[in-house]
């Protein structure tokens, strides 16, 4: 198969502005960015809380969350599918085969990453800042805003890592989204579809676009960590 064919397919896609293609890219970004935002909103405070609290079984919780970072996307998708199916407990919500379901599944994949990295970071920072913050009256949970803000670069890197994981997966969004044309078709599920139709150049072209997107994200991540290093001193 001709690699050149794939590159030209990719260029045609990007420059051509085919509405179906634009819709696919927009949906992919919308689903993943929303999932990451939700995971960050929940994961940052939970991770910080976990870092500062002490309770029996805490070690077990930490191990569990670290392990969930490797949750197979297709398993996450299956679990959400069983929850949201009409015959499932949340059936009446009618959320199966919608972009919302895809956001939920991807948020579940990103959440452990955010919690685990936030916890580690906040715990380390807290060790360093504890006495000074206590001196200022910021004891216990009151220290959380300071710690989260001070760790912002490492946390941003963690969130971008979560984005990378979500934007690369196909298993979860395929199962809960159904790959419906024009509605729940994302870049990864479109690649899976074109592959199964045997249109490999187009599939690879889509893949090239996705890789370029991922490269862009990683470039931002790297720049963020560099700026952060300068401020950490």
Partner 1 sequence: MTTLPTQRHLIAATASLLALGGAALAQDARPAAPATAAAGTRFITVASTTSTVDSGLFNHILPLFKAKTGIEVRVISQGTGQALDTGRRGDADVVFVHARAAEERFVAEGHGGPRRPVMYNDFVLIGPKADPAGIKGSRDIAAALRAIQTRATPFVSRGDRSGTHQAELALWTAAGIDLAATRGSWYREIGQGMGAALNTASAMNGYVLSDRATWLSFRNRGDLDILVEGDRRLFNQYGIMLVNPERHPHVKKADGQAFIDWIVSPEGQKAIADYKINGQQLFFANASDTGA
Partner 2 sequence: MTVMRETTSVLPLAVTGLAFEAGGKRLVDAIGFTIPRGGLTVLIGPNGSGKSLTLRLCHGLLTPSAGRIAWAADHGVIAGHKRHAMVFQKPVMLRRSALANVEHALAAAGAGWSERRTRAREALDRFGLTDKADRPARLMSGGEQQRLAIARAWALRPEILFLDEPTSQLDPGATRQIEQMILALKAEGVTLVMATHDMGQARRLADRVLFLHRGRLVEDAAAETFFSGPASAEARAFIAGDLVW
Choose, by CB under 8 A, the member of 87, 137, 196, 198 that binds partner 2: 137
Minimum Å distance from CB 86 to partner 1? 4
Which CB sits closer to partner 2, 17 or 233? 233
Query: How close are the terminal C-alpha atoms of the chain, in Å?
Result: 51
Phi, psi (rounded to 5 degrees) for 54: -130, 125
Question: If binding is defined by CB under 8 A, does position 58 make contact with partner 1?
Answer: no
CA 41/CA 112 separation, integer angstroms = 12
Which CB sits closer to partner 2, 64 or 134? 134
Segment 130 to 159, residues that bind partner 1, using CB under 8 A: 152, 156, 159
Which CB sits closer to partner 2, 178 or 228? 228
Residue 232 binding result from partner 2, partner 1, none, given CB thresholds of 5 to 8 Å by partner type? partner 2
Choose, by CB under 8 A, the member of 5, 195, 214, 218 that binds partner 1: 195
Contact 96, 172 (CB under 8 A): no
Question: If binding is defined by CB under 8 A, does position 54 make contact with partner 2?
Answer: no
34 — alpha (psi -120 to 50), left (phi > 0) or beta? alpha
Minimum Å distance from CB 52 to partner 1? 24
Residue 146 binding result from partner 2, partner 1, none, given CB thresholds of 5 to 8 Å by partner type? partner 2
Residue 150 binding result from partner 2, partner 1, none, given CB thresholds of 5 to 8 Å by partner type? partner 2
Question: If binding is defined by CB under 8 A, does position 232 make contact with partner 2?
Answer: yes
* CA-wise closest residue to 228 among 41, 220, 49, 51: 220
> How is residue 224 written in tokens?
């963020």
Phi, psi (rounded to 5 degrees) for 90: -100, 20
- The string of DSSP letters for 30-87 reads HHHHHHHHHHHHHHHHHHHHHHH---TTHHHHHHHHHHHTT--HHHHHHHHHHHHSTT
Question: If binding is defined by CB under 8 A, does position 87 make contact with partner 2?
Answer: no
- Size, binding site for partner 2 by CB under 8 A: 17
């Amino acid at each position: 198969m001709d690699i050149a064919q794939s590159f030209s397919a990719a260029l045609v896609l990007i420059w051509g502005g085919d509405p179906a293609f634009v819709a696919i890219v927009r949906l992919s970004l919308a689903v993943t960015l929303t999932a990451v935002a939700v995971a960050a909103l929940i994961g940052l405070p939970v991770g910080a809380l976990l870092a500062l609290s002490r309770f029996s079984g805490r070690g077990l919780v930490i191990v569990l969350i670290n392990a969930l970072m490797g949750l197979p996307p297709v398993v996450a998708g299956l679990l959400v599918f069983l929850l949201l199916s009409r015959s499932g407990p949340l059936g009446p919500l009618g959320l199966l085969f919608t972009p919302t379901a895809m956001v939920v599944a991807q948020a579940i994949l990103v959440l452990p990453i955010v919690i685990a990295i936030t916890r580690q970071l906040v715990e380390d920072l807290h060790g360093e800042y504890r006495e000074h913050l206590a001196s200022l009256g910021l004891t216990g949970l009151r220290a959380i805003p300071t710690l989260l803000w001070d760790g912002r670069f490492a946390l941003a890197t963690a969130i971008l890592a979560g984005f990378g994981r979500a934007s690369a997966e196909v298993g979860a969004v395929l199962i809960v989204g159904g790959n419906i044309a024009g509605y729940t078709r994302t870049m990864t599920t479109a690649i899976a579809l074109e592959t199964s139709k045997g249109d490999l150049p187009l599939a690879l072209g889509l893949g090239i676009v996705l890789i370029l997107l991922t490269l862009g994200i990683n470039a931002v991540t790297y720049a963020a960590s560099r700026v952060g290093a300068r401020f950490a001193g």
